[in-house]
Amino acid sequence: MAKKQFKAESKRLLEMMINSIYTQKEIFLRELISNASDAIDKIYYKALTDDQLVFNKEDYYVKVTADKANRTLTITDTGLGMTQEDLENNLGIIAKSGSLAFKKDNEAKDGHNIIGQFGVGFYSAFMVADVVKVTSKALGSEEAYRWESTGADGYTIEPCEKDSVGTEIVLHIKPNTEDDQYDEYLEKYRLKSIIKKYSDFIRYPIKMDIQGQRPKEGVENEFEEYQEEQVVNSMVPIWRKNKNELTEEDYEKFYAEKRYGFDKPLKHIHISADGAIVYQSILFIPENTPFDYYTKEYEKGLELYSNGVLIMNKCSDLLPDYFSFVKGMVDSEDLSLNISREMLQHDRQLKLIAKNIKNKIKAQLQSLLKDEREQYEKFYTAFGRQLKFGVYNEYGMHKEDLQDLLMFYSSKEKKLVTLDEYVSRMPEDQKYIYYASGESIERIDKLPQTEIVTDKGYEILYFTDDIDEFAIKMIMTYKEKEFKNVSSGDLGIEADEKDAAAESEEKDNKDLFEQMKTVLAGKVSNVKASKRLKTHPVCLSTEGELTIEMEKILKSMPN
Ligand code: ADP
Ligand code: MG
């Protein structure tokens, strides 16, 4: 039997495809500018091999012009251009990418800067335009051609006039409807901000004619309108620059411009990785806790760029939860993107980058702790709680990464100390790492149970955060030392005479203790003589795994 071809309502199909690929209309400009930049890259590669062709950087640019009266938006480039055949093949066949073919043909010459590969980006123009006209003259060609289409119901190609090599794309912007606004794509300030957002680091200048007002010469208090061609993109991103050329202020300015935070960053990390995966990254450790940090509203994540083009605003897979306070961006040429560029196809590369980044952050925090104690304490005050959550969460699987970054207030030092510092100061005969839980340092100072430990000359860590004891239970032992709550049964402190004394006291006061137990029935489970009191008459202690403080927290949690 003869095979029949599927028939499809191509206009509907195109609409469906475009609308399912792209979540935002504004990205059409990113796609068209990326194509223009690809076309300039291609002419640049040609120039590398062709002695006749000289590439003068100044001659290559993209220009974006809006004409409100005629409702047209024009994107012009001075790239390689397209022949009649190219127009037919690259714009007439959906999902055909001339750029991908070019990259394959020119593999040897390092074409990795070219952005296009899916052959659909161009059609995103139909999200905002009802007519698209592409006028192009290819390098080495005498004739120019115009491709014109109103969407999927077809296109025409005819010869036309064009002086210079390159491509001009004219979009007839759709009229506003009740549901959709299109006028904004004719507003310069809006276009400029879309360019800044997605295409700021395109390597070639993106120019616009921007109106301004200036004081009229010779006339006081009068202004005149003027028009000026401006380059709106920054071109070379800060993360591609050499670290040695950058100052602290440059990083701070970037942090502020990107609105990573309103504070000043405490520290930055600039990574230029050249190993198994190539990427650049600038990361910041903020100084202050964002107001919503410990709430559900806070979203972690880094900006993700593919070759200088913004793909994702907050890529959460790049940061572990315990480092969710880190701000910044990653740019990589090695990512295999999904067709929409808003998703990634394989997360293998992403996982590699994430692991790498995690280690860099950890190393940075460790060196801060070692070399800039004061700065570290500032950081710890803002985000230490998150690190402790990190130790506790996921059954403690990250404790090895985090335990050396923890700090607690010390009874001896009267300031924050690390577990390592505690253990290295332990007297020979001390068996445990002692801690005491309470609402505040002042409260813990008054705990009767602390006395016998401090009298022995041992140091106590004060746990004032509700997560502290839970996190420590996860760590279990640090440098082979167990943790011990000063309120728990066996403290491992020898008190022989006291033992005997407690025993006889127990006998002598049997009736009194029984009486106390009856009176306090339901509030305490036992009343005993204690071997651990010095100047205080009485103390509460716990039996079993949970301490009083932990019980209080568990009780206060919603079921
Ligand atoms: P992609 O960029 O993923 O290849 P597009 O749909 O964006 O797919 O573009 C399709 C093809 O059309 C490109 O691969 C390129 O060959 C060609 N093209 C699009 N815009 C231009 C342009 N401004 N100059 C030269 N060629 C272009
Ligand atoms: Mg493209």
Give DSSP secondary structure letters for 403-457.
Answer: GGG-EEEETTTSSEEEHHHHHHH--TT--SEEEEE-SSHHHHHT-TTHHHHHHTT
Q: Which ligand is nearest to the CA of 169?
A: 1
Report the run of H or E that residue 369 belongs to, with start and end: helix 348-371
Output the CA torsion 152→153→158→164 (10° steps): -20
- Tell me if 98 CB under 6 Å of ligand 1: yes
Taking the CA of residue 36 as reference, the ligand 1 atom at the shortest distance is: 23
Crossing angle of helices 373-392 and 348-371, rounded to 10°: 140
Residue-level pLDDT at 340: 65
Mean pLDDT of 137-148: 96
The torsion angle over the Cα atoms of residues 374, 378, 384 and 386, rounded to 10 degrees, is -140
255: phi then psi, degrees, rounded to nearest 5: -60, -45
Q: What would the two tokens of residue 248 be?
A: 């602290």
pLDDT at position 544 over 80? no
- Helix axes of 373-392 and 468-475: crossing angle, nearest 10 degrees: 70
Q: In which band, very low, low, confident or very high, does the pLDDT at 3 lie, cut at 50, 70 and 90?
A: confident
- Alpha-carbon dihedral sign for residues 120, 122, 126, 128: positive
Residue 230 has pLDDT above 70, yes or no: yes
Mean predicted confidence (pLDDT) in 270-278:
92
- Average pLDDT estimate for 173-191: 96
Which of the listed ranges 5-9, 41-45, 84-88, 496-500 does the model predict with the highest average pLDDT? Answer: 84-88
Local structure of residue 344 (DSSP, 8 states) = B
Residue 495 in this model has a pLDDT that exceeds 70? no
Closest atom, ligand 1, to C-alpha of 169: 23
| CA 457 centroid distance within chain | 46
pLDDT at 474: 93
Distance CA 209, CA 212 (A): 10
Give the position of tokens 């006998």: 507
- Which of 24-33, 35-44, 420-429, 538-547 bottoms out in mean pLDDT, i.e. has the lowest? 538-547
Cβ–Cβ under 8 Å, residues 195 and 33: yes
Cβ–Cβ contacts within 10 Å for residue 424, how many? 9
pLDDT tens for residues 319-372?
999 999 999 999 998 787 766 666 666 678 889 999 999 999 999 999 999 999
* Percent of the chain whose predicted confidence (pLDDT) is above 90: 59
> Residue 557 has what pLDDT?
65
Average pLDDT, the chain: 89
- Tell me if residue 351 falls in helix, strand or coil: helix
The dihedral of CA 394, 397, 402, 403: what is its sign? positive
Predicted confidence at residue 143, as pLDDT, reads 96
Pocket test for ligand 1, best of 122, 170, 171 (most atoms within 8 A of CB): 122
Ligand nearest to the CA of 138: 1
How many secondary structure helices (H) and strands (E) does the chain include?
Answer: 17, 19
The response to whether residue 165 sits with its C-beta less than 6 Å from ligand 1 reads no
Say if CB 549 and CB 447 are below 8 A apart: no
On whether the CB atoms of residues 185 and 175 are closer than 8 A, the answer is: no
Whether the complex's predicted ipTM surpasses the cut of 0.90: yes
